[in-house]
Structure 1
Amino acid sequence: MRYPASHFIFATCASLLVGCSPSEQAKAPSEAAQAFEKQLIKQFVLAKPGDVITIPAGVHPISRSLSLTADNVTIRGEGMDKSVLSFKGQIAGAEGILVSGNNFIIEDLAIEDAKGDGIKINEAENVIIRRIRTEWTNGPDEKNGAYGIYPVQTRNTLIEGSVAIAASDAGIYVGQSHNVVVRNNRAEYNVAGIEIENTQGADVYDNLATHNTGGILVFNMPNLPQPGFGTRVYNNRIIANNTENFAPEGTAVASVPAGSGVVINSNDRVEIFNNHVEDNQTANVIISSYFSAGFYTTASTADAFDPYPEGIFIYDNQFIGGGDSPDLLELQALRVAAFGINGRLPDVLWDGYVNTDKLVDGQVPAEARICVQNGTAQVVNVDGPNNYANVTTDMTAHQCALDKLPAIELDGAFFGGQ
């Protein structure tokens, strides 16, 4: 029996692991690379308070998760494009790096092609993530890890100067945390560029979110330990987030339409101001309830969960283009029917859900209103509760102002007055 040439190529690669191109068989790590990984794992496991773990320049293959539990540890490379931890051949672990220590700093390195999340920091207090790059080098793919930079249940967290590329959920995600600053980062080709979820007190500013499915998301999800509120999104550039949604089916962000600039879902007391928001083809800003996400059921959603976005203040943003090619068929039909074949959806799209139990004389209470003071920008209420029956751009209910939120301060010696 004759075998095709590819059979012999495969057999040779499998037995010798030499002489094959990268497309045929990944090269086995060198002895030096294996020794480096072994030593690095040892440094993580045996780390003591005050240790600095250094990552030299070079691409370092890592085959299993790196886990750190000690407090007061710094991980430092020589630059996000110089010191690279490559998990492309990862065979064990759910993350690239997993951290649960307080007073933690990681800076100046890259984490590539992790099997799961790039770096997850869980239940830590005082965290600095600075000039870190997380990337899946194959580009957008639902098989990529969910999160690039992923602090969850943290208190006092700074993420700055970092880059997140091609995560199948969120490039930079902060969940169930308190007192957060996310600034001067770049998020691109993720499903969600930057996501703040169930977090209390966050400032998101001076970031670039581009070529994601959705640029910056502020979400509340049910059945989690705490609700989120008090997020300010300002001085960001949120441009052309029109990448097709590649999140795995059934995940929360799988419902985010391509072409979403800023998305607020079920969150309260959110300010959106002084941003440059441009060419997001569904809408530059979307305000929605959990009902519109398609996951709400009385059986699976805790009774205490508040699915309504309330106390939203949008002002002084620069909106350019956008709304001209919505992702969803019903929004495409709405655009044509309400605004003409060459028209576009207004800058702010609201699904129209309100908590009728809170109405006072038929009106939403002042503190729960959606207020817009943004020049000629309009709000389109698509009347989701009635299946788009009464779409309106009447701005009367939105011509209001709310008390502005205080700035988040990361004080104390650890942050050096930052």
Structure 2
Amino acid sequence: MTATRQQPTPLQLTLSLFAALTVTAAVPAIAQPADAAQTPATAEDSAPDSAASEMTAAPDAYTAIQQALMMAEPGAVIELGPGRYELTEGLSLNVDDVTIKGAGMDQTILSFRTQESGAEGLLVESSGVVLMDFAVEDAKGDAIKVIGADGISFIRVRTEWTNGPDPLNGAYGLYPVASKNVLIDGAIARGASDAGIYVGQSDNIVVRNSLAEYNVAGIEIENSYVADVYDNVAQHNTGGVLVFDLPNLPQQGGHSVRVFNNKIINNDTPNFAPAGNIVGGVPMGTGVMVMANSKVEVFDNEIANNVTAGVMIVAYPNEYEDENYYPYPEGIAVWDNTFTNNGTAPDNDIGDLIASISGTPVPDIVWDGNIPLWHYFTGIPENRGVYIGDNTGSDPETGQATFIDADVIGYFAWNWFHSPSRELPNHAGGVARLTGANVPMPDAAAASSEASQQ
């Protein structure tokens, strides 16, 4: 007969972790040199004499935290107190309905700067998980990866590579993939060599109230269905917000994505993606890029100081062998945005191509004009075109946003008949408005938010 294991209480887990870990002061800023980073304090430095033995009882932070994750049962709350947790191995969780809660994203810091093993800082392979109020710094690979979850919430979580933009940084900060009911709220993501906040091959997604900066892609929604990206700031990335659909992935045909009420500004970081990454082709100074998705709405955003273009709508540009893949964007609507000072210094081959067609500054909104061959003969079906509503922008006469259908296919295939168009009336109308995603705030996070406001 096997004895029944009792679930540790949140208090027991908190006390056991406090007894195992050392504590330091607040996290250094992103610009601070690596050699200036603070080292873990000793027990004498960190705590009163009465607590010194507890604070140094088991300095192996990895063992203490991983044991707590393994011992957890559904419903457990694992609380990590304030401090810098120096970890040499990646952590993993595969138990459903667990909350990992810190004392704040600048108070509880999981540091992987000396990580020796593991492809991520934290790997989650379970559902109903809430991650809140802590930071993951300097992971060897991805900071936090979540696979196959039904219900995953990142609440006030920070991921950062503290040395700043570097191709040796991990690819992704927050990285839920093949999941559904995804909530990212109040997060900060810095320094990722692919995307700071990335949601891939997932369904029913909300990304809100978050800051993405100094990444290649600030926020990326890829091969996903039904996503809302709103009330975020995407700044100082290579590209601010990307909505992509790519071939050769288990889930494709990305659709029903809304990007609204965001500040997408000053995306001016040179592309530092490792060679071969699809985002390595994104020009510095891209505000929003929609590639090969359908049913995408971009509205009520502030889009400013992005040197290549404010919004780019493009087909997938590379060769592919996936017979089920559809490379063209369709049903794209852009309205009620404010564009300021975009397209002033287009970057890389893509920027040069656009500028050679449009001149500089590049128009606020750029569509490459690529459509399936048969649409040249049949016309674009209703609700499957590119629709441009009223946007405030750089046209000196009207104050409206400027636009170009660059007709890139014509530029290369029949240059003598190349016919780019700036005619906005050709793109009037719109698509049926999307209803958007609905991911409720988990109870643990809601209770924490209410307590902090009292």
Q: Is the shorter-chain TM-score for this pair beyond 0.5, marking a shared fold?
A: yes
Give, in whole Å, the separation in 1 of the partners of 2:311 and 2:257: 15
The verdict on how the C-alpha distance between 1:122 and 1:243 changes in structure 2, with shifts beyond 3 A counting, is same
| Distance apart, 1:395 and its partner CA | 2.4
The verdict on how the C-alpha distance between 1:378 and 1:304 changes in structure 2, with shifts beyond 3 A counting, is same
Partner of 1:141: 166
Partner of 2:295: 269
Q: Deviations over 1:66-124 (max 9, x none)?
A: 01000010000000000000000000000000001111000000000000000001101
| Distance apart, 1:329 and its partner CA | 4.9
Partner of 2:228: 203
Q: Work out which of the residue numbers 324, 338, 342 in structure 1 matches 2:344.
A: 324
Give, in whole Å, the separation in 1 of the partners of 2:188 and 2:442: 26
Matched pairs, number: 387
What SS does structure 2 have at the residue aligned with 1:400? coil
Q: Work out which of the residue numbers 370, 374, 381 in structure 2 matches 1:365.
A: 381
Q: Work out which of the residue numbers 260, 273, 286 in structure 2 matches 1:247.
A: 273
What is the identity, as a one-letter code, of the residue corresponding to 1:387?
Answer: Y
What is the identity, as a one-letter code, of the residue corresponding to 1:249?
Answer: A
Alpha carbons 2:335, 2:389 under 8 Å: kept: yes
Partner of 1:166: 191
1:45 aligns with 2:45: no
Alpha carbons 1:325, 1:332 under 8 Å: kept: no
What is the identity, as a one-letter code, of the residue corresponding to 2:438?
Answer: E
What SS does structure 2 have at the residue aligned with 1:131? strand
Give, in whole Å, the separation in 2 of the partners of 1:108 and 1:304: 41
TM-score, normalised by the number of residues in structure 1: 0.87
What SS does structure 2 have at the residue aligned with 1:129? strand
1:296 aligns with 2:319: yes
The verdict on how the C-alpha distance between 1:133 and 1:383 changes in structure 2, with shifts beyond 3 A counting, is same
Alpha carbons 1:33, 1:61 under 8 Å: kept: no
Give, in whole Å, the separation in 1 of the partners of 2:90 and 2:424: 52
Partner of 1:282: 308
After TM superposition, the structure 1 stretch with the greater mean CA deviation from structure 2, 319-328 or 398-407, is 398-407
Give, in whole Å, the separation in 2 of the partners of 1:366 and 1:196: 25
The verdict on how the C-alpha distance between 1:412 and 1:148 changes in structure 2, with shifts beyond 3 A counting, is closer
1:383 aligns with 2:407: yes
Alpha carbons 1:29, 1:61 under 8 Å: kept: no
The verdict on how the C-alpha distance between 1:270 and 1:337 changes in structure 2, with shifts beyond 3 A counting, is closer
| Distance apart, 1:152 and its partner CA | 0.5
What SS does structure 2 have at the residue aligned with 1:43? helix
Partner of 1:405: 434
| Distance apart, 1:180 and its partner CA | 0.5
Q: Deviations over 1:308-360 (max 9, x none)?
A: 00000000001111101000256347537744xxx41111111111012345x
The verdict on how the C-alpha distance between 1:136 and 1:24 changes in structure 2, with shifts beyond 3 A counting, is closer
The verdict on how the C-alpha distance between 1:158 and 1:397 changes in structure 2, with shifts beyond 3 A counting, is same
Give, in whole Å, the separation in 1 of the partners of 2:157 and 2:108: 10
What SS does structure 2 have at the residue aligned with 1:354? coil
Partner of 2:390: 374
Identity in percent? 42
Q: Work out which of the residue numbers 410, 413, 424 in structure 2 matches 1:395.
A: 424
Partner of 1:235: 261
Alpha carbons 1:313, 1:401 under 8 Å: kept: yes
Partner of 1:307: 327
Give, in whole Å, the separation in 1 of the partners of 2:357 and 2:249: 39
Q: Work out which of the residue numbers 351, 359, 383 in structure 1 matches 2:368.
A: 351
What is the identity, as a one-letter code, of the residue corresponding to 2:326?
Answer: D
The verdict on how the C-alpha distance between 1:186 and 1:222 changes in structure 2, with shifts beyond 3 A counting, is same
Alignment gaps of 5+ in structure 2: 1-33, 43-55, 392-399, 450-454
The verdict on how the C-alpha distance between 1:333 and 1:255 changes in structure 2, with shifts beyond 3 A counting, is closer
What is the identity, as a one-letter code, of the residue corresponding to 2:337?
Answer: N
What SS does structure 2 have at the residue aligned with 1:38? helix
| Distance apart, 1:363 and its partner CA | 1.8
Partner of 2:3: none
Give, in whole Å, the separation in 1 of the partners of 2:446 and 2:36: 50
Give, in whole Å, the separation in 1 of the partners of 2:310 and 2:362: 9
Give, in whole Å, the separation in 2 of the partners of 1:151 and 1:135: 16
Give, in whole Å, the separation in 1 of the partners of 2:201 and 2:291: 15
The verdict on how the C-alpha distance between 1:309 and 1:99 changes in structure 2, with shifts beyond 3 A counting, is same
Q: Work out which of the residue numbers 204, 208, 232 in structure 2 matches 1:183.
A: 208
Alpha carbons 2:358, 2:406 under 8 Å: kept: no
What is the identity, as a one-letter code, of the residue corresponding to 2:406?
Answer: V
Give, in whole Å, the separation in 2 of the partners of 1:325 and 1:24: 35
The verdict on how the C-alpha distance between 1:26 and 1:303 changes in structure 2, with shifts beyond 3 A counting, is same
Alignment gaps of 5+ in structure 1: 1-21
What SS does structure 2 have at the residue aligned with 1:368? coil
| Distance apart, 1:242 and its partner CA | 1.6
| Distance apart, 1:412 and its partner CA | 9.2
Q: Work out which of the residue numbers 175, 178, 198 in structure 2 matches 1:150.
A: 175
Give, in whole Å, the separation in 1 of the partners of 2:232 and 2:442: 25
Give, in whole Å, the separation in 2 of the partners of 1:334 and 1:215: 19
What SS does structure 1 have at the residue aligned with 2:127? coil
What SS does structure 1 have at the residue aligned with 2:60? helix
TM-score, normalised by the number of residues in structure 2: 0.81
| Distance apart, 1:28 and its partner CA | 9.3
1:105 aligns with 2:130: yes
Give, in whole Å, the separation in 2 of the partners of 1:247 and 1:203: 26
Give, in whole Å, the separation in 2 of the partners of 1:396 and 1:24: 57
The verdict on how the C-alpha distance between 1:334 and 1:36 changes in structure 2, with shifts beyond 3 A counting, is closer
